[in-house]
Amino acid sequence: MTDQPHPYQDPALPIADRVTDLLARMTLDEKLAQMTIFGFPGEQPRLEVEGPLDVDLLRQNWPHGVGGIGRVGLYRGSRETAVAANTIQHYAMHETRLGIPILIIDEALHGLMGWHATSFPQAIGLAATWDPALVEQAFTAAAAEMRARGSHWALTPVLDLARDPRWGRTEETYGEDPHLAAQMGAAAIFGLQGRAPDHPADRVLATAKHFAVHGQPEGGTNCAPANYAEREIREVFLRPFQTAVQIARAATIMASYNEINGIPVHKNKWLLQDVLRGEWGFDGLIISDGGGIRDLERLHHVAADRADAARQALESGIEYELDDCFALLKEQVAAGLVDEALIDTAVARILGLKFALGLFENSLVEPEQAAATVHSPAHRALALEAARKTITLLQNEPLPGGQPLLPLDTAALKRVAVIGPNAARVHQGGYSVQAEDGVSVLDSIRHYLDGQAEVVYAEGCRITQDGGGWPAWWRDAVVPSDPAEDAARIQEATAVAQSADVAILVLGENEGVCREGWSRDHLGDRSSLDLPGAQEALLQAVAATGVPVVLVLINGRPLSIQWAADHIPAILECWYVGEAGGTAVAETIFGANNPGGKLPITFPRSVGQIPAFYNHKPSARRGYLFHDNTPLFPFGHGLSYTTFAYSDLEIIPPAIPPDGAVTISVTVTNTGQRAGDEVVQLYLRDCLSSVTRPVRELKGFQRLTLQPGESRRVAFTLTPTDLALLDEAMRLVVEPGEFAVMVGGRSVGDGLVNGRFTVT
């Protein structure tokens, strides 16, 4: 690097001026190097290894510098990661010609995916909290841990709408509803980036992904086509992304693997240019998904080779690659096939982000500060709070004595059986590593009941041969459990249950059977939603003993548990509940925590009900022969150890003009004997419209904590944005007519209060 100061090295100058000066000094090789990542999905060497960082890998592969480096700290502790990050930046700042710092890129789907980092509940679990403020806190903590270790860019949040739970990436989403996903996604972005327009030193860049229409793939298989009508795309799938761009100001957007209307997203100019940049005014960076540019050739067959794929992606709007194709643009520029101005535009955005993050002035981190920040006591406490708020009580039927089974009375227990393949293991879901202080349900129950009751354990069966765990998410092969071994395990579990006062069965999925299916050799989608393996047989065998059963589900997608709903009195849905999940589950079972989570996604009775999302069109649920057409557990459902009542619905004014606003308020009262949380949900239906509308749509929600007997008035204001539709001419309008209002603690069922207002 030259010692002579240049304008781009002057922090007093505006960022735009610094970018212009630096860009003018760069060779084409240096520009192309800025548009790619080192050590991610390509064929180049990786840095995801233990031990000291090999800087020679950088010198040999990237003599002109590089835009970013991926996952530096995946297999390192916090101090070691900080040292490695400093080594990387020293090379970039002092051994390359222009001294351009490097963006260090990490995954942070539910906390930093790095050794010893804090692991929060999986995204689908965070969605079950219905608490955007909590989500913002969690991602603020994740950003602080990332920045302390030297990272600058999080490849999250996932804003896909999970409308086919066969899809293994359902766990990564905030559920099926566009409004809920938009609010949770915006909260995650605010947590990562902050709410100020600048980029504070303890925040990172966020990436809204996967843009777009990725969450309801054909057949529920990852990367499959998503050829939906434009109206459906705009009114449903794009809404969380529009909020991410125009409200939360996400710095980057990641293209999705799928095709729309026959055009893969990585070359879809309508989506990337016309909608994202033209209509929404997005001025951030558009990036590829890992290998997404190469897929234009090898998966979609719309590019002749990698060079052709690189050209098509660049011309369509992709500006940064998690791939290894953009280097092939050099020859195409020389041949006049690619306009270098497109490269300049992309590089200018990348450099602008580096200047905005302050990396040219201060790219180094303090290793001891990293150790103090990552997995701090405050972050661990937040992970426990998030776990408590995630847990959702699906069912709590009374026993013959008339009282619900949960919470269990410890004074009445002498022996508790804890059974199941997920009881003694900590499962965190995809995009995580083993939590430093992860605690299992079994260990937590033993700790909770220490000195009060005996705890006996049996595995019962296995979901997969290896039992799951975070390495199973990475491995290609998934080996089912051995049926003969499971039969013996079930027999043992039955004997253990018979000796106990109550049986707590911890079932569900693991990281091997619910995950991202990123290739034909690495599958993660399922054609069934039943409990995998011998778990149903285990559940039935234990229930047949006559011992009361509590079913605890640890999983990443809705499961079709019809038999359990018919025969098991108490069911807790915990999702992948994070490093503190075992503690939160034990507290909930024994009453120290009153569950208040709500389902962010519908539970179908069987896989044959798919699609089962609640906000369907009026003609979509006529029914099937010999089958109940209602969901097993609807969107928004979740019980409590207390009860809530809704009253005094008020709609002011009762009639509004098309550009007016209406305020809807209701009184919520805790009518039970315990303090508890309720999520107040507001749904709306356009009763008569020029185009078909959903039977109901979520338009507002608020999580409350109420003491016994306490009442609180909750109000929502709806604006024209909430009432608008795309008419037959695809114009966004508010049509006159009547709107039905439904407010309560779930999307359908008893307890909702109803009203109407009119648009004149």
Q: Is 238 left (phi over 0), alpha (psi -120 to 50) or beta?
A: alpha
CB 512, CB 478: distance < 8 Å = yes
- Residue 610 covered by a domain: no
Among 596, 612, 627, identify where a domain stops.
596
Active-site residue 289, yes or no? yes
Domain ranges, residue 253: 7-370
Catalytic one among 131, 177, 289, 686? 289
The bridge status of strand 454-458 relative to strand 415-419 is: parallel
Exposed / middle / buried, residue 615 (Cβ in 10 Å: 0-12, 13-18, 19+) = buried
**DSSP secondary structure string for all residues of 189-223:** HHHHH-SSSS--TT--B-EEEEESS-SS-GGG-TT
| 26 part of a folded domain | yes
Kindly state whether residues 305 and 414 are assigned to the same domain.
no
| End residue of a domain, out of 305, 338, 370 | 370
* Whether the bond into 708 is cis, omega within 30 of 0: no
574 shares a domain with 463:
yes
Give the contacts of 220 (CB within 8 A, at least 6 positions apart): 164, 165, 166, 167, 525, 526, 527, 610
Q: Does a structural domain hold residue 626? A: no
Q: Angle between the 239-246 and 178-193 helix axes, to the nearest 10 degrees?
A: 30
Contact in structure between 171 and 122 (CB atoms under 8 Å): yes
Distance CA 126, CA 563 (A): 27
Give the chain's domain count: 3
Tell me how far apart the 2 most distant CA atoms of the chain are, in Å: 84
583-606 pLDDT, tens digit each? 999 999 999 999 999 999 999 999
Q: Closest Cα to residue 121, out of 430, 571, 466, 397?
A: 430
597: closest CA among 564, 570, 631, 573? 573
Does 620 map to a domain? no
Task: Retrieve residue 5's tokens.
Answer: 């100061």
Are residues 304 and 264 both part of a single domain? yes
DSSP of 613-646: -SS--TTS---BTTB--S-SB-TT--B-SS-EEE
Same domain, 678 and 697: yes
Task: Tell me if 2 is assigned to some domain.
Answer: no
Cα distance between residue 274 and residue 538, in whole Å:
54
Structure tokens, 683: 């749904």
DSSP-derived secondary structure for 505-559: EEEE--TTTSS---BTTB----S--SPPTTHHHHHHHHHTTT--EEEEEE-SS--
Q: CA-to-CA distance for 584 and 573, rounded, in angstroms?
A: 12
232: CB partners within 8 A, 6+ apart:
none
Taking the C-alpha atoms of residue 533 and residue 483, their distance in angstroms, rounded to an integer, is: 8
How many CB atoms are closer than 10 A to CB 382?
21
Tokens of 359: 């990396």
382/118 Cα distance (integer angstroms): 9
Hey, is 706 helix, strand or coil?
A: strand
Confirm if 366 and 37 have CB atoms less than 8 A apart: no
Q: Which neighbouring-strand residues pair with 712?
A: 668
**DSSP β-bridge partners for residue 639:** 393
According to DSSP, the residues that pair with 646 across neighbouring strands are 668
What is the C-alpha to C-alpha distance for residues 31 and 323, in angstroms, rounded to an integer?
A: 16
Cα(589)–Cα(442) distance, integer angstroms: 12
Instruction: Please answer whether residues 462 and 423 qualify as being in contact, where contact means their C-beta atoms are separated by less than 8 angstroms.
Output: no
Is residue 631 situated within a structural domain? no
**Exposed (0-12), middle (13-18) or buried (19+): which is 327, by Cβ within 10 Å?**
middle
Q: Are 31 and 138 contained in the same domain?
A: yes
Distances (CA, A) of 314 to 190, 317, 477, 567: 29, 5, 35, 56
pTM of the model: 0.97
**Residue 145 and residue 89 share a domain:** yes
Cα–Cα distance, 383 to 145 (Å, whole number): 14
- CA–CA separation, 69 and 86 (whole Å): 13
CATH number at residue 106: 3.20.20.300
Question: 116 and 47: one domain?
Answer: yes
346 vs 314: CA distance, rounded Å: 9
pLDDT at 42: 46
H-only helix segments in 456-594: 470-474, 483-498, 535-543, 562-567, 581-589
Indicate if 335 and 445 belong to the same structural domain. Answer: no
Q: How many CB atoms neighbour CB 38 within 10 A? A: 24
Q: In the beta sheet, which residues pair with residue 504?
A: 418, 550
What is the structure's pLDDT at 43? 44
The CA distances from residue 9 to 85, 98, 353, 489, 501, in Å, are 21, 10, 15, 67, 71
Token pair belonging to 415: 């022996």
State the CATH number of the domain containing residue 429: 3.40.50.1700
Q: How far apart are CA 644 and CA 672, in angstroms?
A: 7
Calpha distance 691→724 (Å, rounded): 12
Q: For residue 92, what are its two tokens?
A: 């970039």
CATH number, domain with residue 702 = 2.60.40.10
And the tokens for 41? Answer: 């999905």
Gap between the Cα atoms of 598 and 605, Å rounded: 18
> Which stretches within 75-208 are classed as H helix?
78-95, 123-129, 132-149, 178-193
Q: How many CA atoms lie within 13 A of 166 on its CB side?
A: 20
| 158 and 207 Cβ atoms separated by less than 8 Å | no
Mean pLDDT by 10-residue block, N- to C-terminus, for the chain (760 residues)?
A: 79 97 98 88 49 76 91 85 93 96 97 94 98 98 97 98 98 98 98 92 97 97 96 98 98 98 98 98 97 97 98 98 94 97 98 97 96 97 98 95 94 97 96 86 98 97 91 91 97 98 98 95 96 98 98 98 98 97 98 98 97 97 91 98 98 97 98 98 98 98 98 98 97 97 94 96
Task: Decide: 569 and 396 in contact? Cβ < 8 Å.
Answer: yes
* End-to-end Cα, the chain, rounded Å: 68
The tens digit of pLDDT for each residue in 624-681 reads: 999 999 999 999 999 999 999 999 999 999 999 999 999 999 999 999 999 999 999 9
How many helical (H) and strand (E) elements, i.e. helices and strands, does the chain have? 23, 25
> Which residues are registered as beta bridge partners of 702?
680
**Residue 366 and residue 386 in one domain:** no
Q: Which residues are bridge partners to 111 per DSSP?
A: 109
Pair 661, 554 in one domain: no
The reply to whether 563 falls in a domain is yes
Buried/exposed 417-440: b ≥16 CB within 10 Å, e otherwise = bbbbbbbbbbbbbbbbbebeebbb
Domain boundary among 537, 572, 596: 596
SS3 443: helix
Identify whether residues 239 and 196 lie together within a single domain.
Answer: yes
The amino acid at residue 310 is: A
Same domain for 366 and 385, yes or no, is no
Is 285 within a domain? yes
Q: Please count the residues of the chain.
A: 760
